[in-house]
Every structure is written in structure tokens, then in C-alpha cells.
């Protein structure tokens, strides 16, 4: 345990020394376009995300960018016309899955104002709701690992970004054998609050 703490402290000191004048804190907000395969839902349903992002510069070209994001995955079912005709009580339903997402991204800067980002993300399911009869409890797992890849354009105190997120695990909590995996596009804008 002492060795682990020593290594952790050395890594923190190394990052701190190399990150002088290369730290930034910002806020971000944007649009999600989500899809879950093997679920009878409309593809790429729009929802939102908002959060904070940090940047620790290791060199002029390489940095680490952890984030905390409140993100919603919205799924709108689209029953077939035969299902609707067979039972008039069936209506399209909308599921809202609210996550706290924690991506840890490696940021490469090939040119001054443009960055490429990639890395793992873990999302904790905070809440799941369903519009319509019943609720969505126990339908979706409590967390999800994913891989994130995207780019960021720095516009001085503001930045634009786009990224693609691929779920790496099944989020289906039901007893059937169907595997539900998410994919999501994120587009948004952010503002740098601190830079030093």
C-alpha cells in the first residue's frame, strides 16, 4: 500500500510540475444523439448533456482531460402499426436514462487550436424514468463502460467539440438474453473559466 501511495504521489508531482501554466477549467453544454441496438426505438433520439471539464497539459502537444458530465440518454419506442391496431391502449413510450458520466481522455494537439481526444468513460445511472404506464425500474443496469473519441476546436475563451461514444457492455438488466449496447454522438460548446 505504501508503494502504491508513493507511486501515486510521484505521478501527481510529475503532472503538477509539467502542468505549470497548462491547466484549465471549463464548463460545457450540448446535444446528445443516442441509439441503443436491439431495442425497438427511434434511432439517434436527441437529448442533452452538461458538465465541467479539466485539462492538465503534460507537454505542449499532449494533455489529460478528465470531465464530469450529467448526460441523458433518451429512447423513444416506435410500436409497429399492427401492434397499435391490435391494442389501442399501446402508445409510443419515452425512456429517460440520466447518467453521471466520467470520461478520462488523452488529448493530442497537432495544431495550436485543434485537439483530438480519446479514452475510456464510466457512466453511473442516476435515474431512469418512463413516460406512460409503469416505470423503467430494473430495465437498465446501474453503470456502463464506454470508449470516447472526438475532437475540440479552441476559439479563445470558447470551444466547440464533437465526439462519438461506443458502449462496451450490455446495459440490459432484464432476464431475456437480448444485448443492449449504446452508441451516442455528442455535439456542444464550452467556455474556459480558468487558465493558468
- Is residue 187 in a domain? yes
Q: Is residue 35 part of a domain?
A: yes
Q: Which domain holds residue 66?
A: 21-195
**Whether the predicted pLDDT of 103 surpasses 60:** yes
Q: Given this model, what pLDDT does residue 132 score?
A: 54
Q: How is residue 72 written as a grid cell? A: 441523458
Q: In 3-state terms, the chain is what percent helix, strand and coil (to 5)?
A: 10, 60, 30
pLDDT of 106 > 50? The answer is yes
pLDDT at 144 over 90: no
Kindly tell me if the per-residue pLDDT of 121 is higher than 90.
yes
Name the least confident of 77-81, 84-88, 126-130.
84-88
> What's the pLDDT band for 30 if we cut at 50, 70, 90?
very high
pLDDT cut 70: percent of the chain above it: 65
Q: How many domains does the chain have?
A: 1
- 3-state class of 7 per DSSP? helix
Q: Cell for 30?
A: 450540448
Within-domain flag for 4: no
Query: Is 162 among the domain residues?
Result: yes
**What is the CATH classification number for the domain harbouring 145?**
2.40.160.20
Amino acid at each position: 500500500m505504501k508503494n502504491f501511495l508513493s507511486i501515486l504521489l510521484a505521478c501527481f508531482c510529475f503532472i503538477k510540475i509539467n502542468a505549470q501554466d497548462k491547466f484549465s477549467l471549463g464548463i460545457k453544454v450540448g446535444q446528445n444523439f443516442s441509439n441503443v441496438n436491439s431495442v425497438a426505438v427511434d434511432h439517434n433520439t436527441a437529448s442533452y448533456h452538461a458538465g465541467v471539464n479539466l485539462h492538465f497539459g503534460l507537454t505542449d502537444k499532449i494533455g489529460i482531460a478528465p470531465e464530469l458530465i450529467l448526460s441523458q440518454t433518451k429512447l423513444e419506442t416506435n410500436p409497429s402499426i399492427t401492434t397499435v391496431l391490435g391494442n389501442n391502449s399501446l402508445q409510443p413510450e419515452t425512456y429517460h436514462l440520466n447518467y453521471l458520466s466520467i470520461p478520462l481522455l488523452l488529448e493530442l494537439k497537432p495544431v495550436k487550436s485543434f485537439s483530438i481526444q480519446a479514452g475510456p468513460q464510466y457512466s453511473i445511472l442516476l435515474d431512469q424514468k418512463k413516460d406512460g404506464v409503469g416505470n423503467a425500474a430494473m430495465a437498465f443496469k446501474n453503470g456502463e463502460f464506454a470508449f470516447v473519441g472526438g475532437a475540440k476546436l479552441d476559439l479563445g475563451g470558447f470551444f466547440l467539440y464533437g465526439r462519438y461514444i461506443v458502449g462496451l457492455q450490455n446495459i440490459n438488466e432484464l432476464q431475456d438474453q437480448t444485448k443492449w449496447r449504446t452508441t451516442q454522438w455528442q455535439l456542444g460548446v464550452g467556455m474556459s473559466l480558468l487558465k493558468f
